């Protein structure tokens, strides 16, 4: 399986390198939307602070958010979803490995190449906003550790949504709805701590916060020991649930699949 992954990874990597302009544009999409909220919150904070957050803290939060958003984001609706709709999945079903492995290789390849564009862009943006970094190396390390389960959750979750293409041609609509939840409940519109009571409770219970916002909160040093532990437990639980969801949709979907004929 590892050998198969390596083959998939190399071929995906090579094909992605052919689309350099796409990566540049993609990095604009990763950076510009959070930039709106970074700028607005920064202005609201002004010289003082909002609910204990200074301008510089918002800056660090959102710059970290941009990078983590890139590292955790799901692209499966564009890869797997498209393959199912166009019937390209058929030859892949004949291989002796699960097609999800190829999707995973594509996901990892995309993020690795993308990081070379997103990270420098964020670093270029940083001096324009004067960040104030106050976290400890330990927190930083723990936060980076939390990125991995978050990315895995979004991959499984996004893959399951892409698999809806087995049943409907509008799987992209579900994906868009999913993005709306991420926007509201995973720290893009505002850091979770600044959401109104109702939304905050919802964010704590639903999986979205653990897919993106949680690692950002840990990296920027907002959470205490207990909260971090609880966050990792929630990540573990939702990761298991996402795994079951993916298995279930795959088994049902592939039986339902009628490829587009030539």
Partner 1 sequence: MLRYPAIMWVFVKNSVQNELAYRFNLLTNLVFTLVGVVTSVTAVYVIYGHTRTIQGWTLPQTLALLGVFTLMNGLINTFIAPNLDEFAEGIRKGTLDFALIKPVNSQFLVSFQRCVVWGLADVLVGASIVGYALLTGFGEGVGPLQMLAFVLAAASGAVIIYSLWISLATIAFWTVKIDNMTTILRAFYNMGRFPVDAYPTWLQRTLTYVVPVAFVTTVPVDMLRGQGAPLALVGSLLVAAAALWVSTRLWRFGLSRYTSASS
> 31-60 mask for partner 1 (x: CB under 8 A)?
-xx-xxx-xxxxxx-----xx---------
Report d(CA 14, CA 2) in Å as an integer: 18
- Closest CB to partner 1 among residues 84, 190: 190
Report d(CA 139, CA 136) in Å as an integer: 5
- Closest CB to partner 1 among residues 16, 250: 16
What the block records as the tokens of 171 is: 């799987």
Our finding on whether 18 is near partner 1 (CB under 8 A) is no
State the nearest-atom distance from the C-beta of 247 to partner 1, in Å. 28
Kindly list the distances between the CA atom of residue 34 and the CA atoms of 59, 69, 152, 183, 199, in Å, as whole numbers in the listed order: 11, 10, 22, 10, 19
**Cβ contact 84:77 at 8 Å:** no
Our finding on whether 25 is near partner 1 (CB under 8 A) is yes
Among 97, 144, 184, 254, contact with partner 1 (rule: CB under 8 A): 184
How many residues bind partner 1 (CB under 8 A)? The answer is 33
> 93-132 mask for partner 1 (x: CB under 8 A)?
-----------------------------------xx---
Q: Of 19-27, 73-81, 134-142, 227-235, which segment contacts partner 1 by CB under 8 A? A: 19-27
- Cross-strand pairs, 53: 50
State the nearest-atom distance from the C-beta of 39 to partner 1, in Å. 5
**Cβ contact 71:146 at 8 Å:** no
Our finding on whether 170 is near partner 1 (CB under 8 A) is yes
Among 21, 137, 225, 258, contact with partner 1 (rule: CB under 8 A): 21
- Closest CB to partner 1 among residues 199, 206: 199
- Burial of 149 (C-beta count, 10 Å sphere; 0-12/13-18/19+): buried
Kindly tell me the number of DSSP H helices and DSSP E strands found in the chain.
12, 2
Q: Of 69-77, 91-99, 174-182, 236-244, which segment contacts partner 1 by CB under 8 A? A: 174-182
Closest CA to 117 of 128, 125, 129, 106: 125
Q: Of 67-75, 113-121, 178-186, 212-220, which segment contacts partner 1 by CB under 8 A? A: 178-186
Element (H, E) at 138: helix 137-163
**Interface residues for partner 1 in 188-207 (CB under 8 A)?**
189-190, 194-196, 199
Sign of CA dihedral 121, 127, 133, 138: positive
Element (H, E) at 166: none
Residues in contact with partner 1 by the rule CB under 8 A: 21-22, 25, 28-29, 32-33, 35-37, 39-44, 50-51, 128-129, 170, 173, 176-177, 180, 183-184, 189-190, 194-196, 199
């Amino acid at each position: 399986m590892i050998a198969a992954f390596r083959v998939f990874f190399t071929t995906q990597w090579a094909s992605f390198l052919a689309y350099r302009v796409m990566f540049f544009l993609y990095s604009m999409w990763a950076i510009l939307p959070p930039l709106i909220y970074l700028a607005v919150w920064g202005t609201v904070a002004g010289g003082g602070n909002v609910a204990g957050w200074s301008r510089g803290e918002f800056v660090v939060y959102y710059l970290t958010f941009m990078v983590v958003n890139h590292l955790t984001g799901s692209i499966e609706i564009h890869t797997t979803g498209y393959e199912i709709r166009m019937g390209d999945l058929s030859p892949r079903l004949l291989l002796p490995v699960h097609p999800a492995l190829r999707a995973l290789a594509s996901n990892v390849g995309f993020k690795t190449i993308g990081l070379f564009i997103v990270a420098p862009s964020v670093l270029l943006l940083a001096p324009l906003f004067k960040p104030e970094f106050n976290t400890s190396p330990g927190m930083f390390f723990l936060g980076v550790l939390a990125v991995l389960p978050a990315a895995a959750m979004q991959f499984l979750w996004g893959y399951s949504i892409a698999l809806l293409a087995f049943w409907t041609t509008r799987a992209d609509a579900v994906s868009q709805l999913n993005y709306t939840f991420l926007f509201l409940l995973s720290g893009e519109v505002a850091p979770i701590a600044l959401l109104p009571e109702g939304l905050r409770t919802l964010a704590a219970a639903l999986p979205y916060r653990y897919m993106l916002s949680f690692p950002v909160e840990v990296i920027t040093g907002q959470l205490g020991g207990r909260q971090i532990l609880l966050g990792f437990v929630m990540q573990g639980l939702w990761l298991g649930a996402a795994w079951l969801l993916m298995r279930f949709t795959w088994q049902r979907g592939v039986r339902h699949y009628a490829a587009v004929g030539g």
